[in-house]
Structure 1
Amino acid sequence: MPYFDSPRGRLHCRRWVVEGATAVLVLLPGTGQHSGHYHRFAGALRSAAIELWALDTSGQGLSEGDPDAPGTVRELVADARALLALVRAEAIAAPVLMGHSLGAVTALTVAVENPDELGGLVVCGTPCRALDSTPDLDLSVLAVHGIDDRRAPIDAIRLWTARHRSVDLREYADAGHDLLHEPVQHQVAADIAQWVLAAMR
């Protein structure tokens, strides 16, 4: 279980090693979640030869910090970039970055600032505040979103997708905000795996 230091304390990340992996996905969870919640997702990716790394945001899981104050966007971006540096030291190709909810806000910022460091971007349950000021991204993007998402209503991501030709939007009926923990999770994981493998070609 790797750890790394940040200005706000020691942060933990979890790696599900896949021998002979053809791609690596780095996950930034949403508020109140941590890497221990993603074993099933890691298993689904493993069957597609994709290795998963996931961060425990400051104050969550095994990471130090205040659970009620995960950090500013700039602090979260710095944490994500530190994790990506660890991953790049081990990975055979540029990792695909994925973020859920607050993690999607962070991942979008990283992708805007450092697109050359990524093999692609996946966003899930993306809040509308993260979309208003996001420019065109110079890399492939997959957006997965529940049609019944009440925290981040789907209309915003639909409008954003229509403005950005590089974004592939997948919508899931009878699904809300937390797609990787809902009944549609198996289809969502399969769609993400398929997209990641295609993006790495």
Structure 2
Amino acid sequence: MPFFDGPRGRMHYRRWPAENHRAALVLLPGIGQHTGHYHRFATAVRSAGIEPWALDTAGHGLSEGDPAHPGTLAELVADALCLIELVRTALPDAPLLLMGHSLGAVTTLGLLGAAIPDTRSAADLSAVEANCPLTPSLEPTALAGLVLSGVPRRALGAGTPDAPGTPLPHTLPILAVHGREDRRAPIDAVRDWTTRHNWVSLIEYDDSGHDLLHEPHYRTVTTDICEWMLKVL
């Protein structure tokens, strides 16, 4: 089983090798999930000619740590960067796609300095600056595309007037997928966010909640994500 030594301990990841791959996908799961939950999705991605890699969040799956405390956003970003560097080393010529679900989506935006709460309602802006990376740890030009699934409101304040953080560039293709019945991350926040980022593609799913890739419509969601990734490539 593959591991790497991260800043906070031994981290586990999975790789689903794809022959004649045309790109690589780094997947960051949500809290309470691990890479073993994504074999079905990874098989579909690999069939599309994209090689998937995924990280067990600290304290989840086979990664060391406390499952109740996966880390600060800065720590989660640092863990994700370690996996991204492994992918770059193994597949140096492959375009890189990045996908995050829930907490993984927050981390994905955090890598780009864009996981910012809505500071119009923030009581203490210094707390925002202390807890949220405001500059990119990963340059957007390193990515061929970004997929966000079930992203929570707490990361969707970017683009509001005078918000801290780093704006996402219009040149970065972004897909957001979200269930209309999502109770953990209600859809109104991502709808508002996509109006401020009008180049983002938002696909909404009826009768679907937070965990789109493990719900009855998972085949449709998987197909939509794969088709979008192939299009941007």
Q: TM-score range by the shorter chain?
A: over 0.9
Unaligned runs of 5+ in 2: 114-135, 160-165
Q: Which residue of 2 aligns with 1:143?
A: 176
Shift of 1:80: 0.7
- SS of the residue corresponding to residue 105 of structure 1 reads helix
Q: TM-score, normalised by structure 1?
A: 0.96
Q: What are the superposed Cα offsets for residues 83-136 of structure 1, whole Å, 9 maximum, x if unpaired?
A: 100011122323111000000000011134121221111000000110013554
Q: Which residue of 2 aligns with 1:119?
A: 144
Distance 1:7 1:136 in 2: 27
Does the Cα contact within 8 Å between 2:99 and 2:148 map onto a contact in 1? yes
Distance 2:220 2:41 in 1: 11
- SS of the residue corresponding to residue 38 of structure 1 reads helix
- 1:31 corresponds to 2:64: no
- SS of the residue corresponding to residue 142 of structure 1 reads strand
Q: Which residue of 1 aligns with 2:231?
A: 198
Structure number with bigger Rg: 2
**Residues 13-32 of structure 1 aligned to structure 2 (within 5 Å):** 13-32=13-32
Distance 1:60 1:73 in 2: 16
Distance 2:82 2:201 in 1: 27
Q: Which residue of 1 aligns with 2:132?
A: none
Q: What are the superposed Cα offsets for residues 139-162 of structure 1, whole Å, 9 maximum, x if unpaired?
A: 111000000000000011011111
Shift of 1:26: 0.7
Unaligned runs of 5+ in 1: none
- SS of the residue corresponding to residue 5 of structure 2 reads strand
Does the Cα contact within 8 Å between 2:158 and 2:167 map onto a contact in 1? no
Distance 1:52 1:7 in 2: 23
Does the Cα contact within 8 Å between 1:88 and 1:94 map onto a contact in 2? no
- SS of the residue corresponding to residue 112 of structure 2 reads helix
Q: 1:187 aligns with which of 217, 220, 224?
A: 220
Aligned residues: 200
Q: Which residue of 2 aligns with 1:47?
A: 47
Q: 1:172 aligns with which of 205, 208, 217?
A: 205
Q: Which residue of 2 aligns with 1:58?
A: 58
Look up the equivalent residue of 1:196 and give its one-letter code.
M
Does the Cα contact within 8 Å between 1:142 and 1:168 map onto a contact in 2? yes
Q: TM-score, normalised by structure 2?
A: 0.83
Look up the equivalent residue of 1:109 and give its one-letter code.
G
Distance 1:70 1:128 in 2: 19
Distance 1:120 1:47 in 2: 18
Greater shift after overlay, 9-18 or 89-98? 89-98
Q: 2:191 aligns with which of 141, 158, 169?
A: 158
Look up the equivalent residue of 1:129 and give its one-letter code.
R
